[in-house]
Structure 1
């Protein structure tokens, strides 16, 4: 099987998995009793507002919420025609947010790319910090460099993200004049992309990138150090040095390549875990990402909005996993994308 065929195969399995995840997401969203409109109807009836009840009942029929659960799911995905024909996720219709009284597409439009931008920057920070520190700590094992990097790593793991955000915001504003809150100056919100807007986003992203990426960088640095130490203790390392290979060249050519596999494998989990784990950070720091929107949608049982956001996170997970699988095949010749021949 060629790498192209393997890529096509992994893309097909990704789509099937995404379909299964969509069913699971829809089921979990509907596990709590009632929904946004049902709760609203109950409140309106209790207060005697008949006009509001009639509007809510109309919306239930308009968005097929009065049908069986399996029909709601198939209409939401776009596999069955609803009141307006085939109009689901497959057709590009993300649904309607009852909490914000707007289409889901309008609510998440700007926050989607800002979410990806912030978390991609955090991932770059994770790799840029963890790779050199992990390698140096392993190469200088049981020295002050190793102990210092271990202390910094444990400190990064132990410090809550929101607390680190508050500390960095206070001292960043006091000594470096770093702007506080948001991902851009308010004057640029809703404006087309320009050089000034890019500069504003870049400055505002310094603290969020460090806050979101610190814990991941600390954990990955410790894991890389452990893997490197395990490889450095194997006989082939001593053989390579005995044959005259310089320690730095040997380190990069053999142990690092093997120890680097977890870095590549973590791509599939790192991005979605940062998106889901940065919800509280986004609320504290006032970031215009998708995290606060998801929190509001789950609290109010806004099923179309929360369903789309969860599907977006699932899509990130599956894309990241597919990329990591393909990269592992390309980087490590011991890994094969077909079964062992008998």
Structure 2
């Protein structure tokens, strides 16, 4: 029951945080003067195209962009009725992209699940690489294994993602015949999911997963090594060793569990870091994720599109934090579920 109460409390906290984040996102995307349509109106006036101005003015009223910012926010979120009644984020209406002249839902439809897929693959890659290398480096401290893993880690941290993407882009295709660019073959774009399409996506995932996850894996490996070395130096480990406990049992019984806490807590920060770090990689590799879409929307001040993408990233961040909090509560018995402990 304690874990259920804690999960409910954290879920409610997550939604409250998301509400605050939505206010900040809306305020930030409206910080630059004007918006897409007002900028377009100014350009049309400068060139004397009066017919285009009438259309832009109509769209401003159609999407409530002529109203005060606080009212625009309430309509965008679906808390207040707009020109078409209640039709905001809460009702599943994400607005219109003026840059692409299409509904936001159509633009981000396939890009959303591809973004989630790429970043989940990167998270799995990070943990599959960082866990064994970090534990091995700590267990074999000051040996060639430790130095080799440290060298790999520093190499991963020092190499820019876009440079690594370009290198693998060329050598992966030349020597391993890996596909160049994108997350699927062109003939599968816009097609319903099938075995062949999923196979194409998985093959195309190899390079992006490696590129996006490398720096995260290197940083996490170093943190796990440092945490585990700190635990292995504590008196209770020396006591267990003196009592004749074998090294593998001694390592996994308590030190590894305690050292895992920051490792698990990193889930909350890893997802947003991977998504933000993958924007440039997505542009270089031509990935059909929301990264390039967000970049275009921010540059053109396409507020409905950029607002939705930022809200989606915020939601992923909060979900990652929720997962890490629940795993920490299960992993470490010292964490109290019900506030003030027994």
TM-score (norm 2): 0.99
Instruction: Deviation per CA, 1:15-72: give whole Å up to 9, x if none.
Output: 1110000000000000000000000000001111111000000000000000011000
1:68-217 matched pairs, under 5 angstroms: 68-217=68-217
Give the distance between the partners of 2:168 and 2:237, measured in 1 at CA: 42
For residues 264-291 of structure 1, give each alpha carbon's deviation from its aligned partner in whole angstroms, at most 9, with x where no partner exists.
1011111111111110000000000000
Aligned to 1:275: 275
Q: Give the stretch that moved more between structures: 64-73 or 261-270.
A: 261-270
Structure 1 Cα separation of the partners of residues 307 and 238 of structure 2: 54
1:15 maps to 2:15: yes
The structural deviation recorded for 1:150 is: 0.5
1:96 CA displacement? 0.4
Number of equivalent positions: 342
Checking the alignment, whether the CA contact within 8 Å between 2:188 and 2:197 is kept in structure 1 is yes
Partner SS for 1:278: helix
Q: Which runs of 4+ in 1 moved over 4 A?
A: none
Q: Which residue of 1 aligns with 2:221?
A: 221
**What's 2:29 paired with?**
29
d(CA) in 2 for partners of 1:340, 1:239: 32
> Cα offset for 1:192?
1.1
What whole-Å deviation, never above 9, does each CA across 1:240-277 have from its counterpart, x for those lacking one? Answer: 11222110111011111000111110111111111111
Structure 1: distance between partners of 2:204 and 2:188: 12
Cα shift at 1:336: 1.0
| Secondary structure, aligned partner of 1:80 | coil
> Contact between 2:183 and 2:287, CA under 8 Å: does it hold in 1?
yes
Q: How far apart in 2 are the matches of 1:106 and 1:192?
A: 14
Instruction: Give the whole-Å Cα distance in 1 for the aligned partners of 2:88 and 2:196.
Output: 37
* Residue segments in structure 1 that go unaligned for 5+ positions in a row: none
CA RMSD of aligned residues (A): 0.9
Greater CA drift, 37-46 or 268-277: 268-277
| Counterparts of 2:181 and 2:287, CA distance in 1 | 7
SS in structure 2 at match of 1:106 = helix
Cα distance in 1 for partners of 2:340, 2:3 equals 16
In structure 1, C-alpha distance between the alignment counterparts of 2:154 and 2:125, rounded to whole Å: 17
Alignment partner, residue 61 of structure 1: 61
TM-score (norm 1): 0.99
1:233-312 pair list within 5 angstroms: 233-312=233-312
The offset of 1:341, in angstroms, is 4.7
238-247 or 128-137, which deviates more: 238-247
Residues 314-340 of structure 1: CA distance to partner in whole angstroms, max 9, x if unpaired?
Answer: 001111111111110111001112333
